[in-house]
Amino acid sequence: MSKFDVAVIGGGMVGAATAIGFAKQGRKVAVVEGYAPKAFSPEQPMDIRVSAISEHSVAILDELGAWSDIAKMRVCPYRRLETWEHPECRTRFHSEELGMPQLGYIVENRLIQLGLWQQLTQYENIELFCPDTLENIEFDEVNKVVLASGTTLEAELVVGADGANSKVRSLAGIGVTAWDYRQHCMLINVRTALPQQDITWQQFTSSGPRSFLPLPSLDGVGQGSLVWYDSPKRIKQLCAMTPEKLREDILAHFPPELGDIEVLQFGSFPLTRRHAQSYSKKNCVLVGDSAHTINPLAGQGVNLGFKDVEVLLEVTAGQEVIGTSVLNHYQRKRKPDNLLMQSGMDLFYKGFSNDIAPLRFMRNAALKIAENSGPLKKQVLKYALGLK
């Protein structure tokens, strides 16, 4: 039976970052993952799943040695952000307001994972179990992690980085507070006729937001990721359309800022909110989506996950034994911040997802005021970018 200080269940973006961080502390780490990320080549079409990576997350990835590898593949820096409901009541943000070259980067999730894996495989004290999955955990002072392959690992700490439906969370008996937003989110990759590779924007409608995320240009042609929130029925209808019919519906329902487009590929998923009632139990600790999922409205999901990693590594640094008091410290530092971001996004989302006339007037007035709020506007932007 192989013995490890830490067994990380899930080798995605957050799990791989956690494993590298613990390896840098000198700990022996096991990583269990079902699928290795596909290798990169420049001619590949853009993936559907992308994230808006904040400058704070870039700093974390750089500290782990992965950012340079990611940046060599495909990233799209963005400098401007706009949000509005009525076209004349907009809030605009620009990187120049913070003296920064960009607000962040739009990056394919797979490439973030791939950049981390290129680092992960260089550590002699990391052992990768892939393809493999978690079957069971036998809880004791040192947990026994049983894999689907029949392999059994001993680990003093088990990290649940296995996503929103975390098996680690379930086996450890950690409950969740959860609800369904009763909306689905459609992601659509498009070619764009207009050059807009330095801005991300979002328009609110009563049925849900319509968003644009810039993607890297390929062969000199601009690309973007469209995000369409709507009822499950409506999203199902959109997913059944031909690319040409979908294009017509997009042009009819997105703002004119989009310009003409060509649909390349699309997919959808339901919106749900989950928050673990505890971040640790039975020598297990949760990070990323295993601990919390958030409305993707502001693209904060993976950034919150990387902040989890940062704090977990911070509180465990120099600790020979990662005991209950250390893990409780991690929870005290991360749970309030994650809850605040979840609640803030929910308030924003619900406040705009209706057609009540007085409320519509108030929220548009608020956006207009926010545009001219000076220091407050700058502070909100810094918080959203993880720079507070």
CATH number at residue 319: 3.50.50.60
Cα-to-chain-centroid distance, residue 131: 23
Shared domain for 202 and 60, answered yes or no, is no
Dump pLDDT digits (tens) for 17-28.
Answer: 999 999 999 999
Dump pLDDT digits (tens) for 196-239.
Answer: 889 999 998 888 889 999 999 887 889 999 999 999 999 999 99
Dump pLDDT digits (tens) for 376-386.
Answer: 656 656 655 65
Shared domain for 115 and 48, answered yes or no, is yes
Q: How far apart are CA 54 and CA 87, in angstroms?
A: 26
In the structure, what pLDDT confidence band is assigned to residue 50 with cuts at 50, 70 and 90?
very high
Dump pLDDT digits (tens) for 250-285.
Answer: 999 999 999 999 999 999 998 888 999 999 999 999
Using the predicted structure, report yes or no on whether residue 356 has a pLDDT greater than 70: no
Q: How far apart are CA 116 and CA 13, in angstroms?
A: 7
Contacts of 350 (CB under 8 A, 6+ apart): none
- The whole-number pLDDT of residue 18 equals 98
Q: How far apart are CA 303 and CA 120, in angstroms?
A: 20
Final residue in a domain of this structure, among 251, 272, 293: 272
Shared domain for 53 and 36, answered yes or no, is yes
Q: What is the mean pLDDT of residues 153-163?
A: 98
- The whole-number pLDDT of residue 340 equals 85
pTM, to two decimals: 0.91
Using the predicted structure, report yes or no on whether residue 320 has a pLDDT greater than 50: yes
Tell me the residue length of the chain. Answer: 388
Can you give the residue range of the structural domain that contains 322?
2-77+103-179+274-350
Specify if 236 maps to a domain: yes
E strands along the chain, which residues? 2-9, 29-32, 50-54, 76-78, 80-84, 90-94, 104-108, 126-129, 134-138, 143-147, 152-160, 176-192, 199-203, 210-218, 221-230, 261-276, 280-281, 284-286, 292-293
Q: What is the mean pLDDT of residues 349-361?
A: 51
Specify if 375 maps to a domain: no
CATH number at residue 249: 3.30.9.10
State how many domains the chain has: 2
Shared domain for 189 and 215, answered yes or no, is yes
Residue for token digits 């690319």?
Answer: 243
